[in-house]
A and B are shown apart, each in its own frame.
Chain A
Amino acid sequence: NAGVTQTPKFQVLKTGQSMTLQCAQDMNHEYMSWYRQDPGMGLRLIHYSVGAGITDQGEVPNGYNVSRSTTEDFPLRLLSAAPSQTSVYFCASTSWEPGNTIYFGEGSWLTVV
């Protein structure tokens, strides 16, 4: 029972580089989302998806891109990394039913130098 799987766990990027954080879930959840967590800032929603082919912006979408070609996968792309994107990133998934638990990945620690 894998749940939500994120890769990589750790990554160091140089300013201007691009990369993709991978997220996969095996629970057939419709709803997937990406958060970033910075000290003292709680969780901030970057992008979310309510189903394959449908994505929308969250609170802090600038500099990030997402796509949802399958129910299982929801990759997050950093287009041109900036030091301000140094953070911990969490992928989450849940179903439409609001009483269902939200499941989180273990996180991806990203440093941009």
Chain B
Amino acid sequence: AQSVAQPEDQVNVAEGNPLTVKCTYSVSGNPYLFWYVQYPNRGLQFLLKYITGDNLVKGSYGFEAEFNKSQTSFHLKKPSALVSDSALYFCAVRSNTNAGKSTFGDGTTLTVKP
């Protein structure tokens, strides 16, 4: 069975500092990894994804994520956090061996303080 772990329920950073939101996964076959962001009272919005190729993936709003196959991780990063980045972040995995089924982590609340 495939799974996703987001080990931190909450991440707090100061505006202007770099941020990291952690994600590890377990999957059979090739992993396809996604990050989504959810603002209050809204649906989930796609940020970025890793399919194949370069391990560093760049996405929306200045976010990037690094795929590490040996550590089975896909951490979300941003060099300089903004207060407006405060939101709930979800990591998700799909696999070519599980009929495309999606598995989501429990989410990490990011709070960026001025």
Interface on A for B, CB 8 Å cutoff? 31, 33, 35, 40-43, 48, 50, 90, 92, 94-99, 101-107, 109
By Cβ-Cβ distance, the 6 closest A-B pairs, closest first, are A42-B106, A98-B94, A99-B51, A104-B43, A104-B44, A106-B43
Cβ–Cβ contact B90 & A43, under 8 A: yes
Cβ–Cβ contact B100 & A105, under 8 A: no
Determine the chain A residues whose CB is within 8 A of the CB of B36 once the complex forms: 102, 104
Cβ–Cβ contact A33 & B105, under 8 A: no
Cβ–Cβ contact A43 & B42, under 8 A: no
Determine the chain A residues whose CB is within 8 A of the CB of B95 once the complex forms: 98
Shortest CB-to-CB span from A57 to chain B, Å, is 13
In the docked arrangement, what's the CA distance between A106 and B38, Å? 10
Interface on B for A, CB 8 Å cutoff? 9, 30, 32, 34, 36, 41-46, 49, 51-52, 90, 92, 94-96, 99-102, 104-107
Determine the chain A residues whose CB is within 8 A of the CB of B94 once the complex forms: 98-99, 102
Determine the chain B residues whose CB is within 8 A of the CB of A101 once the complex forms: 34, 46, 49
Determine the chain B residues whose CB is within 8 A of the CB of A102 once the complex forms: 34, 36, 46, 92, 94, 102
Shortest CB-to-CB span from B23 to chain A, Å, is 13
Cβ–Cβ contact B32 & A99, under 8 A: yes
Which of B44, B49, B99, B100 has a CB less than 8 Å from the CB of A90? B44
Of B49, B101, B107, most A-chain CB atoms within 10 Å: B101
Determine the chain A residues whose CB is within 8 A of the CB of B51 once the complex forms: 99
In the docked arrangement, what's the CA distance between A53 and B9, Å? 38
Which of A43, A92, A98 has a CB less than 8 Å from the CB of B32? A98
Determine the chain B residues whose CB is within 8 A of the CB of A50 once the complex forms: 99-100
Contact A33/B102 with A98-B96, A102-B34, A102-B92 known, Cβ cut-off 8 Å:
yes
Shortest CB-to-CB span from B54 to chain A, Å, is 14
Shortest CB-to-CB span from A68 to chain B, Å, is 15
Cβ–Cβ contact B90 & A107, under 8 A: no
In the docked arrangement, what's the CA distance between A31 and B106, Å? 21
Return the chain A residue nearest B105 by Cβ: A42
